[in-house]
Chain A
Amino acid sequence: MPFREKRYFLFFTLPAYILIAIFVITPIIGTVIISFETKNGFGLDNYVKVITETSPEKALVYLRRMPRPPPWGAMIHNFIWIAIHLPLSILLGLVLAYLLRSVRGSSIVKSIMFLGMVVPMIVGGLLIRFMYDEFIGIFPRLFALLGFKGILAKDWLIYPQTALFALILGAVWLWTGFNLTVFAAALESVPTSTIEAAMIDGANSWQIFSRIVVPQLKPAIIIAVIMTVLWDLKIFDIVYVSTFGGPGGASNVLALVMYLYFARALDYGRSAAVSIILALLTLIPGIWFIREVRKSEKG
């Protein structure tokens, strides 16, 4: 039974919307305006400049004289981040959620995997750095023990060939727990009888996984993909504290470029332009998210 009083609606929602209007919507509009401001009126100068920027520390796209190791430009790095991190963390999360059904102490495993979501991202970045440290890190020691001599036996984060990929691997460690938890929760709503019936019919584990589990989990997979892409686009703390985009821009990302324009170059127009580019990219998964929410509300 819906109550119909506009007064009440306003009373309950207005305090929240006043704060949102002042501290969220006004600055969003402000950023749009600042991004178009130029010395003589309004124009696309800031956008043109940030996109055509050629210094590897700030470039969004830097793909001349390929093939060569990174830097390839901050925006390209974000895309590579998605291209590697998204499939790895989704697949690993899915397979683990499925396997955990037949593992003893699965709730402990889940708690451990979820740790990456609990630690502040700034500490996450430090943990990643710790794992790759030349003297006390596990990875270089392990590869040295296996007889490697080159970069892999040293600090992975200080070489352009490895820095970006080492960070992405660390991001898999940080984020997979989220996907796993989403999938494990969704898997609980798949009736065991469906799976048991398939087993009696002689289906093997792979068939059950690919024909029953994955299709049933489709809504959860979509949400996990959206959240992962959003996270990959917004990545900042990890990079700031572990490599600061280095060496020579080889692990730079969009959010860090935005910060560099703001805090180091004091160029607010270009900083805002990078923000807008980043926000436009997040709008793609954002709109997809809204469509999914609406679908689930109707269905």
Chain B
Amino acid sequence: MRRVSLTGLLTNAVVWALAVVWALPVVGLLMVSVRPFSEVVVHGWWTPYGHFTLNNYVEVLFDPAYAFLQGYLNSFIVTIPSTIIPILLAAMAAYGFSHFSFPIKNYLFLTLLLIMAVPQQMVVIPLYFMLRNAHLINTFLGLILIHSSWGLAWITFFMHNFFKMLPREIEEAAMVDGAGYFTIFFTIVLRLSMPALLSASVIQFTWVWSDFFFALMFLISPDKYVVTQKVAYIRGEYHIDWGLLSAGSVLTMLVPLLLYAFLQKYFIRGMVGWTVKG
């Protein structure tokens, strides 16, 4: 029973106007990044005429002063293991929580929930000294271990919610056929959980890729910088070259944006799915 009414039209207009406003910053930054900054300063980025160029990108990526390409590589080196390790370990832990009993199980689970609310600031000072003593400061391995551990709590919680809903019949049938828990977990449960694992991976990947604070604390030399550090570094203290900065920003958000574009369903489920019951 959809009627075309004045209020209906008005609602559409208002909401779409808002959406345009919402898209403006990203569109604007894209425009600045593909135009010579000298032109943007004079005419503004919203003019449809003028020159278009990829010079900003070339300079940011390859100029040794910015070396974004190196930052990109570093980000992948950190992010890929920091996604795979916690996903696997957290899926195992969630399986343990949902299938077996243990005396202090409830308290262990409560610890996870508490950790989820703890700010990063609460761990970095001792971690800094721990990594320094272990000669892991300014190394990718150190940062990977921290990101992996930090992701475990929420992914375990997320996977636990999913495992609760998995039908037990398949597992029980496999048990009757003589399969052990390990076989069941690694061959059956993980395969059935692919959608949830993918959701968690997409979010953990985006989260680690986007992280700035841990990287800022533990990666010290510019050749180790990840993209978020690189882009903050271009900003400079006094003078801002928006041409370079916008190109760097676009490159930094490109990877999460692509993930979002192609895996939107999993992305949204991962980020808000667990907040809604079911």
Residues of A at the B interface (CB closer than 8 Å) are 1-6, 8-13, 15-17, 19-20, 22-31, 34, 96, 99-100, 102-106, 108-109, 111-123, 126-128, 130-131, 133, 135-136, 138, 141, 173, 177-178, 181-182, 185-186, 189, 196, 205, 219-220, 223-224, 227, 230, 233-234, 236-237, 240-241, 254-255, 258-259, 262, 268, 271-272, 274-276, 278-279, 282-283, 285-286, 289-290, 293, 296
Least CB distance from B102 to A in Å reads: 4
Complex Cα distance A297/B22, Å? Answer: 36
Let me know if B209 is at the binding interface, CB within 8 A. Answer: yes
- Chain A residue numbers with a CB within 8 Å of B221 are none
Prevailing SS type, chain A contact patch: helix
The listed residue (A2, A17, A186, A233) touching B100 by CB distance below 8 A is A2
Contact B276 A185 (CB under 8 A): yes
Least CB distance from A220 to B in Å reads: 6
Contact B149 A22 (CB under 8 A): yes
Contact A135 B41 (CB under 8 A): yes
Let me know if B90 is at the binding interface, CB within 8 A. Answer: yes
- Chain B residue numbers with a CB within 8 Å of A141 are 44
Q: 4 smallest A-B Cβ distances: which pairs?
A: A286-B117, A30-B126, A12-B96, A120-B210
Determine, out of B55-63, B66-74, B190-198, B242-250, the stretch whose residues face the partner at the interface.
B242-250
Contact B264 A19 (CB under 8 A): no
- Chain A residue numbers with a CB within 8 Å of B201 are none
A116 closest partner in B (C-beta): B22
Restricting to B158-193, which residues have a CB under 8 Å from any CB of A? 168, 172, 181, 185
Given the known inter-chain contacts A15-B89, A182-B275, please indicate yes or no for A24 contacting B153, CB distance below 8 A: yes
0 or 1 for each of B98-137: is its CB under 8 Å from A? (1 = yes) = 0111110100101101111111111111111110000000
Complex Cα distance A27/B142, Å? Answer: 14
Least CB distance from A26 to B in Å reads: 7
Least CB distance from B209 to A in Å reads: 7
Given the known inter-chain contacts A16-B89, A120-B209, A123-B249, please indicate yes or no for A114 contacting B268, CB distance below 8 A: yes
The listed residue (B40, B128, B168) touching A136 by CB distance below 8 A is B40
Complex Cα distance A241/B103, Å? Answer: 47
B271 closest partner in A (C-beta): A117
Prevailing SS type, chain B contact patch: helix
Complex Cα distance A258/B123, Å? Answer: 12
The listed residue (B22, B41, B232, B246) touching A115 by CB distance below 8 A is B22
Complex Cα distance A26/B206, Å? Answer: 26
Complex Cα distance A177/B264, Å? Answer: 14
Contact A23 B146 (CB under 8 A): yes
Let me know if B266 is at the binding interface, CB within 8 A. Answer: no
Given contacts A34-B125, A99-B11, A127-B26, 11 further A-B contacts (CB under 8 A): A1-B172, A16-B92, A30-B130, A114-B268, A118-B253, A123-B253, A182-B275, A182-B276, A262-B125, A279-B121, A289-B116
A199 closest partner in B (C-beta): B1
Contact B125 A15 (CB under 8 A): no
The listed residue (B45, B95, B120) touching A12 by CB distance below 8 A is B95
Interface size class of B (residues with CB under 8 A): 35 or more
- Chain A residue numbers with a CB within 8 Å of B80 are none
Complex Cα distance A116/B252, Å? Answer: 14
Let me know if B52 is at the binding interface, CB within 8 A. Answer: no
- Chain A residue numbers with a CB within 8 Å of B212 are 120-122, 236-237, 240-241
- Chain A residue numbers with a CB within 8 Å of B152 are 16, 19-20, 24
- Chain B residue numbers with a CB within 8 Å of A138 are 24, 28
- Chain B residue numbers with a CB within 8 Å of A118 are 206, 253, 256-257, 260, 267
Contact B149 A19 (CB under 8 A): yes
Complex Cα distance A293/B277, Å? Answer: 10
Complex Cα distance A29/B240, Å? Answer: 41
Complex Cα distance A262/B126, Å? Answer: 11
Least CB distance from B218 to A in Å reads: 12
B175 closest partner in A (C-beta): A3
Complex Cα distance A203/B149, Å? Answer: 52
